[in-house]
Structure 1
Amino acid sequence: MSNQLSERKTESYKIFDKIAGTYDLLNHILSFGIDIYWRKVAIANLPKRENLNCLDLACGTGDLTIALAKAKNVEKVTGLDMSKGMVDLGLVKIKNQKLDNKASMQIGDGVEIPTADEIFDVTTVSFGIRNFPDPQRSLVNMHRVLKENGRSMVLEFSIPKNFFFRAIYFFYFRYLLPFVGNLISKHKDAYSYLNQTVEDFPYGDDFAQLMKNAGFKNVHYKELTFGIATLYIGDK
């Protein structure tokens, strides 16, 4: 990772503050709505028990937080994000969907995770861990805050193995997505930066190894939509 990219990750929440207003719209446009399906796959892999207490890191405007709150076996979900702009929008969405009784959001660091040990059944992070300045430390803390038999799920972009899809993917991520994203968000390079973080980040077996290094067991992953995204799962 370049020093410049590393420094930007430390301050990345400031970028999300600036693009918060167009974030949801661009997410759905730039993923062609497939992000909704990816979250459904994550929900389908929740532990098969009742009254789950969940922590959603880098929750953004709360799409996964809300999806978790709607799951029948989830009792409570807390969203954590460093961007005040994102959290403010997420709280409005939670209120509008009348999920205040199950879901809450607050400003907080997804790397250090300022909560007590062993209090959550599930920790999640979707399309955010690649922006963390220290993903390994975040995974260690995810493991720390989980109860015994808890589960962590990480949903993140990855690079397709198939040559044909990889070529399309790189064209889209390097040229089309940054152009459209920067134009609509009116930010000079937010979506160029996001593309750089995708290509820089470990995926597949490499990321699964980071989860194992953090203490997770039964680590496995599911490639989604030709490998554009991957859902990583690890148990405590």
Structure 2
Amino acid sequence: MSNQLAERKTESYKIFDKIAGTYDFLNHLLSFGIDIYWRKKVIKNLPPRKNLQCLDLACGTGDLTIVLAKQDSVEKVTGLDMSKGMVDIGKIKIDKKGYAHKAAMQIGDGVEIPTADELFDVTTVSFGIRNFPDPQRSLENMFRVIKPGGRSMVLEFSIPKNPLFKGIYFFYFRYLLPFVGNLISKHKDAYSYLNETVEDFPYGQDFADMMVKAGFKNVRYEELTFGIATLYIGEK
């Protein structure tokens, strides 16, 4: 990782503050709506029990937080994000959708995770851990805050293995996505930065090994949509 990229990660929440207003629209546009399918994959892998206490890290505007709150098996979900702009929008969405009794959002650090040990059944982070300045420490704290028998799930971008699809993917991610994203968000390089974090971040077995190092058992992962994204699952 370059020093410049590492420095930007420590203050990436400031970028998200600036693009919060267009974030949801661009998410759905630039992913062609596939992000909705990816979140459903997370839900399908929730532990098969009731009254789940969930913590959604780097929750952004709360898309996954809200999907978790919709599940009958979930009693409470807390969304945590460093960006006030994103959290403010998320709170409005939760209220409008009628889930304020089950879902809450607050400003908080997804690396240090300022909560007590063994408090949650589930921790999730979707498309956020690559922006953390210390993803290994975040995984260690995810392990710390889940109960024995709990589960942590990480949904993150990855790089396709198929040479043809990989070529198309890189063209889209390096040129089209940053151009459209920066134009609509009116930010000079937010989506260029986000692309850099994808290519720089470990994925597949490399990331699974990080979860094992953090203490997780039964670590597994599933490539989604030709390997554009990967869902990682680990248990305590």
User: Deviation per CA, 1:125-154, whole angstroms, max 9, x where unpaired?
Assistant: 000000000000000000000000000000
What is the letter of the counterpart of residue 154 of structure 2? V
In structure 2, what is the equivalent of residue 136 of structure 1? Answer: 136
Structure 2 matches for 1:129-208, cutoff 5 A? 129-208=129-208
Opposite residue 37 of structure 2, the aligned amino acid is Y
Q: How many equivalent pairs are there?
A: 236
Q: Please show how residues 64-103 of structure 1 align to structure 2 within 5 Å.
A: 64-103=64-103
**Other-structure match for 2:56:** 56
TM-score by length of 1: 1.00
SS of alignment partner, residue 181 of structure 1: helix
**Where does the alignment leave 5 or more consecutive residues of structure 1 unmatched?**
none
What is residue 4 of structure 2 aligned with on the other side?
4
The answer to whether the aligner puts 1:227 opposite 2:227 as a matched pair is: yes
CA distance in 1 between partners of 2:36 and 2:71 (Å)? 14
Give, as a single letter, the amino acid of the residue that structure 1 aligns with 2:47.
Answer: P
How far apart are the structure 2 equivalents of 1:40 and 1:165? 24
Deviation string 1:54-110 (CA, Å, 9 cap, x unpaired) is: 000000000000000001100000000000000000000000000000000000000
Structure 2: give runs of 5+ residues left out of the alignment: none
* Distance in 2 of aligned mates of 1:96 and 1:138: 31
CA distance in 2, matches of 1:161, 1:89: 36
| Partners of 2:96 and 2:44 in 1: CA distance | 24
> Residues 212-223 of structure 1: matches in 2 within 5 Å?
212-223=212-223
Aligned to 1:108: 108
Q: Letter of the aligned partner of 2:157 in structure 1?
A: F
1:100 partner amino acid: A
- Give the distance between the partners of 1:39 and 1:134, measured in 2 at CA: 24
- Give the match for residue 22 of structure 1: 22
- Percent identity (aligned): 82
Root mean square deviation of aligned Cα: 0.2
